[in-house]
Amino acid sequence: MVTEVAQFLQPKPGMTLLDMTLGMGGHARHLIEAGAFVVGIDRDESALERAAHRLAPYEGSFRLIWGQMSQADELLAAEGIKGVDGCLIDAGLSMDQLLDEARGLSVHSRESLDMRLDRSDPDAVTGYDVVNGYLEKDLVRVFSVVGRKREARRVAHWIVRTRDRRPIQTAAELAELIAAHIVRGKYTRPIDAAPYLMAVRIETNDELTELTAGIEMGCSLLLPTSTATIVTLTWHSAEHRVSKHTLRRLAHPCTCPPALPCVCGKTPTIRVLTPKLLYPSEEEVHSNPAARSARLNAAVKLSPADRQAQK
Ligand SMILES: C[S@@+](CC[C@H](N)C(=O)[O-])C[C@H]1O[C@@H](n2cnc3c(N)ncnc32)[C@H](O)[C@@H]1O
């Protein structure tokens, strides 16, 4: 949804845009080519290295920073940047990360069940820890992201029964085990277990908490110019919900009962530009089927005058 992202962010010379999930730098490149200076953040050091290589022809038009989007204020402050004219969050993981066998993110991976996007801390929780260490009730909670309660209970039960005999070592092993038990008495394909592997990945990287904090952080870093915009691209229903609810909460922060005058003093900082999530066009899905799950949300920062008028 490169075109839609550009329609909302309106990149041009003189603008500083923050890409909080740089990945391979695909979106960043388009923003740079339109004339903007891009600050790119990613929690995966190897993604930054690859993006730096891809963006090398645009030297001087970008700055890349390793870290999490929830820490963007500190990361930008260290660079002397106080605010930005626009912000992009393209949540989740890149195709590169998914296809990297060693990360254990795909149902075909026969290497370690790591699943971390940031592998710099040897003590950080891995997918292996979640699958082999969590209590059964916590596995049910993790799998509830997939949205099928009864199935989630059955999958958690079989994981616990299996690991009691031997630990589950790889993503492929996990996918085969889940495929054998998602539907009672019927073996489905390992690929059908992909949403459950995604749920383990989301838990391992605390992705939904990070997404919430990243959106809040992005909104707070937007300069109060009435044009500074945040755009989110999300890829599955749990991310869509987080994006929609977080932006709505920032646009309607008052917690007082609707029938009473406001005493909480919380005023909106943004206005949502997309009352409904935007879908990719049919042409885009046709030429890039992976884009079919993407949904776009956007909101604009309110200027002090806008905020005054809303009181
Ligand atoms: C979907 S990819 C982004 C693709 C990118 N827009 C492009 O065009 O190449 C998501 C990226 O966000 C990174 N990421 C995920 N969660 C993050 C977080 N909390 N903070 C920073 N980066 C994060 C992942 O490591 C991954 O590289």
High-pLDDT (> 70) share of the chain, %: 99
Ligand 1 contact via 239 beta carbon (within 6 Å): no
Residues 1-53 have pLDDT tens digits of: 999 999 999 999 999 999 999 999 999 999 999 999 999 999 999 999 999 99
Q: Same domain, yes or no, for 46 and 172?
A: no
- Altogether, the residues listed in the chain come to a count of 311
85 shares its domain with 214: yes
Give the range among 42-56, 60-74, 80-94, 143-157 with minimum mean pLDDT.
143-157
pLDDT of 131: 98
Asked if 179 contacts 189 with a C-beta cutoff of 8 angstroms, the reply is yes
> Ligand 1 centre and the CA of 94: distance in Å?
7
φ, ψ dihedrals at 42, nearest 5°: -150, 145
Core vs surface per residue 262-294: b (16+ CB within 10 A) or e: eeeeeebbbbbbbeeebbbeeebeeeeeebebb
CATH number at residue 238: 3.40.50.150
| Cα–Cα distances in angstroms (integers) from residue 239 to residues 204, 211, 247, in the given order | 15, 8, 12
Is the whole model's pTM more than 0.85, yes or no? Answer: yes
Query: Where does a domain end: 184, 204, 224?
Result: 204
Read off the pLDDT band of 311 (50, 70, 90).
Answer: low
Residue 195 in domain: yes
Residue 214 near residue 70 (C-beta atoms within 8 A): yes
How far is Cα of residue 87 from the mean position of the Cα atoms in its chain? 13
Predicted local confidence at residue 64, as pLDDT: 98
Distance of alpha carbon 193 from alpha carbon 143, whole angstroms: 11
Q: Does 297 lie in the same domain as 219? A: yes
What is the tens place of the pLDDT at every residue in 123-170?
999 999 999 999 999 999 999 988 788 889 999 999 999 999 999 999
pLDDT tens for 171-216 read: 999 999 999 988 777 778 889 999 999 999 999 999 999 999 999 9
Mean pLDDT over each residue of the chain, to the nearest integer:
94
CA distances (Å), origin 16, targets 12, 194, 221, 263: 9, 37, 11, 36
113 domain residue, yes or no: no
Of 176, 204, 232, the last residue of a domain is: 204
Residues 139 and 286 in one domain: no
Ligand 1 geometric centre to CA of 109 (Å): 21
Would the CB of 21 count as within 6 Å of ligand 1? yes
Gap from CA of 23 to ligand 1 centroid (Å): 5
265 has pLDDT over 90? no
Look at residue 233 and tell me if it is in a domain: yes
Two tokens at 272?
């949502």
Residue with tokens 């539907």: 183
- For the CA of 27, the nearest atom of ligand 1: 8
Looking at the 3D structure of the chain, how many domains does it have?
Answer: 2
**Cα–Cα dist 39/158, whole Å:** 45
Whether 34 and 13 share a structural domain: yes
Residues 129 and 82 in one domain: no
| Reduced 3-state DSSP string for the chain | CHHHHHHHHCCCCCCEEEECCCCCCHHHHHHHHCCCEEEEEECCHHHHHHHHHHHHHHCCCEEEEECCHHHHHHHHHHCCCCCECEEEEECCCCHHHHHCHHHCCCCCCCCCCCCCCCCCCCCCCCHHHHHHHCCHHHHHHHHHHHCCHHHHHHHHHHHHHHHCCCCCCCHHHHHHHHHCCCECCECCCHHHHHHHHHHHHHHHCCHHHHHHHHHHHHHHHECCCCCCEEEEEECCHHHHHHHHHHHHHHHCCCCCCCCCCCCCCCCCCEEECCCCCECCCHHHHHHCHHHHHCEEEEEEECCHHHHHHHC
Ligand 1 lined by 68 (C-beta under 6 Å): yes
Domain's final residue, options 178, 204, 230 = 204
Residue 156 belongs to domain spanning: 119-204
Angstrom distance (rounded) from CA 204 to CA 201? 5
Task: Give me the CATH number covering residue 173.
Answer: 1.10.150.170
pLDDT of residue 115 exceeding 90, the answer is: yes
Asked whether residue 83 falls in the same domain as residue 163, the answer is no
Together in a domain, 250 and 214: yes
Based on the domain organization, do 63 and 85 belong to the same domain? yes
pLDDT over threshold 90, residue 229:
yes
Same domain, 223 and 193: no
178 shares its domain with 245: no
Flag whether 103 is in a domain: no
Query: Looking at residue 306, what is its pLDDT?
Result: 79
pLDDT at 295 over 80: yes
- Assigned domain for 34 exists: yes
Asked if residue 217 belongs to a domain, the reply is yes
Contact 205, 116 (CB under 8 A): yes
Same-domain pairing of 38 and 87:
yes
The ligand 1 atom at the shortest distance from the C-alpha of residue 211 is 19
Q: What percent of the chain has pLDDT over 90?
A: 86
Residue 108 located in a structural domain: no
d(CA 134, CA 156): 10
Inform me whether the pLDDT recorded for 245 exceeds 70: yes
With respect to residue 111, please indicate whether it lies within any of the assigned structural domains. no
